[in-house]
Amino acid sequence: MNAHNDMHERIARLDPEILWRNFVRFNAVPRPSKKEQKAIEYVENFGKRLGLETIRDKAGNVIIRKPATPGMENRETVVLQAHVDMVPQKNKGVEHDFEREGIKMLIDGDWVTADGTTLGADNGIGVAAILALLESKDIPHPPLEALFTFDEETGMTGAHLLEPGLLKGKIMLNLDTENDTELDIGCAGGIDVTATGTYRLTAPMAGGKAYHLFVKGLTGGHSGMDIHLYRGNANKIMNRLLYLVLNRGAQIAYVRGGGLRNAIPRESEALVVLPADKADEIREKLNRLVADIKHEQKKQDPDLQILINEDKMPGQVMHDDDARALVRAVYGAHNGVYRMSPDILDLVETSNNVAQVRAEDGKITIGNLTRSSVESTKHDLVNALTSVFNLAGYEVQTAGDYPGWEPDPDSPILGLMKDLYVKLFDEQPQVEACHAGLECGILKSKYPQLDVISFGPTIEGAHSPDERVNIASVRKFWNYLLETLRNIPERK
Residues written for the chain: 492
Residue 85 known to be catalytic: yes
- Is the peptide bond prior to 123 cis by the omega test (within 30 degrees of 0)? yes
252 φ, ψ to 5°? -110, 130
How many whole angstroms separate alpha carbon 281 and alpha carbon 443? Answer: 57
Asked if the model's pLDDT at residue 400 lies above 90, the reply is: no
> What's the chain's average pLDDT?
96
Q: How confident is the model at residue 419 (pLDDT cuts 50, 70, 90)?
A: very high
Catalytic residue among 44, 145, 151, 152: 152
Amino acid found at 416:
L
Query: What pLDDT digit, counting tens, does each position of 87-128 carry?
Result: 999 998 999 999 999 999 999 999 999 999 999 999 999 999
Query: What pLDDT digit, counting tens, does each position of 222-272 carry?
Result: 999 899 999 999 999 999 999 999 999 999 999 999 988 989 999 999 999
Query: What pLDDT digit, counting tens, does each position of 426-480 carry?
Result: 999 999 888 987 899 999 989 999 999 999 999 999 988 999 999 999 999 999 9
Q: Which domains does the chain have, with CATH numbers?
A: 2-188+405-486 (3.40.630.10), 200-402 (3.30.70.360)
Catalytic residue among 85, 192, 322, 467: 85
Q: How confident is the model at residue 55 (pLDDT cuts 50, 70, 90)?
A: very high
How many whole angstroms separate alpha carbon 432 and alpha carbon 348? Answer: 11
Q: How confident is the model at residue 365 (pLDDT cuts 50, 70, 90)?
A: very high
Query: Among residues of the chain, what percentage have pLDDT more than 90?
Result: 89
Pairing relation of β-strands 468-470 and 459-460? antiparallel
What string of H, E and C letters represents the secondary structure of the chain? CHHHHHHHHHHHCCCCHHHHHHHHHHHCCCCECCCCHHHHHHHHHHHHHCCCEEEECCCCCEEEEECCCCCCCCECCEEEEEECCECCCECCCCCCCCCCCCCCEEEECCEEEECCECCCHHHHHHHHHHHHHHHCCCCCCCCEEEEEECCCCCCCHHHHHCCCCCCCCCEEEECCCCCCCEEEEEECEEEEEEEEEECCEECCCCCCEEEEEEEECCCCCECCCCHHHCCCCHHHHHHHHHHHHHCCCCEEEEEEEECCCCECCCCEEEEEEECHHHHHHHHHHHHHHHHHHHHHCCCCCCCCEEEEEEECCCCCEECHHHHHHHHHHHHHCCCEEEEECCCCCCCEEEEEEEEEEEEECCEEEEEEEEEECCHHHHHHHHHHHHHHHHHCCCEEEEEEEECCECCCCCCHHHHHHHHHHHHHHCCCCEEEEECCCCCHHHHHHHCCCCEEEECCCCEECCCCCCCEEEHHHHHHHHHHHHHHHHCCCECC
Q: Average of pLDDT values for 376-405?
A: 95
Query: What pLDDT digit, counting tens, does each position of 319-364 carry?
Result: 999 999 999 999 999 999 999 998 788 889 999 999 999 999 999 9
Q: Average of pLDDT values for 59-72?
A: 98
Q: Average of pLDDT values for 184-190?
A: 91
